[in-house]
Amino acid sequence: MAEQGVETETRVPPIVDMPLFHQSQRFSWDCGISCVMMVLPPQKRAQLLSNFHDVCSEEGFGKSTWTIDLCYLLKRYQMQHVYCTITLGVHPGYHGQAFYDKILHKDEDRVKRRFAEADKYGIVVRQVKLTTEDMVRHLAKSGPIILLTNANLLNCEVCKGNRLAMELRNCFPWSISYHGHYIVICGYDYSRQKFSYRNPAFRNRICVMSFEMMDEARKSYGTDEDAILIHYSWS
């Protein structure tokens, strides 16, 4: 079941399906940048692709992107957005965690500085817990959502490989660990309580996942429930 309080079909369109360009990630670390490319208009996407390494160097994140870095990248290409998170800066509990421990020593100062300077650069950051209702409403009215998830908790009702991974996870729940991964939510089917999303780890395809299971993936410890709400000009 979706979270209590999600609006009824009469308040939002029953189905939303945004025909986004699909950008597969080229490296092990660029899923977030690939998601940014999916929401950029063609000319700006081409500019980023052709200047990829220079942009990464100029932005200062190198091969390690945090959600706040993606916001600065979106700002660089004049994309209106709002960053929602439950943690402003770096969660103190991530020190010593396997996924974060190797990158915190080089990323922490930059991430904290970028949070501190966000307002100066016109980047809107809100400390808030998004509900399924919030996500559905945004998709219906404004645009897609770049979402940080635990890759180990993602699944797809269409992709056979993902279904197998989900079945194995249910058999061996103690094996679950955190691996941060960005995806783009690009629609929903309200009557079926499903989100559709694009995963940069795959080639051009649309994956489908229940509201309930998406909540599990996006609220996993390590994500800070990070979501970037893209506001297209039609809103």
Whole-structure pTM value: 0.89
Q: Is there a domain that residue 79 lies in? A: yes
Q: Is there a domain that residue 2 lies in? A: no
Task: Determine the pLDDT at residue 9.
Answer: 45
pLDDT in tens, the chain (235 residues): 334 344 444 489 999 999 999 999 999 999 999 999 999 999 999 999 999 999 999 999 999 999 999 999 999 999 999 999 999 999 888 877 777 877 888 899 999 999 999 999 999 999 999 999 999 999 999 999 999 999 999 999 988 655 545 544 554 454 458 899 999 999 999 999 999 999 999 999 999 999 999 999 999 999 999 999 999 964 4
Q: Is there a domain that residue 3 lies in? A: no
Q: Is there a domain that residue 1 lies in? A: no
The enclosing domain of 49 has a CATH number of 3.90.70
Q: Which domain holds residue 113?
A: 15-230
Q: Is there a domain that residue 9 lies in? A: no
Tokens at 198, concatenated: 């694009």
Q: Is there a domain that residue 226 lies in? A: yes
Domain count, the chain: 1
Q: Is there a domain that residue 10 lies in? A: no
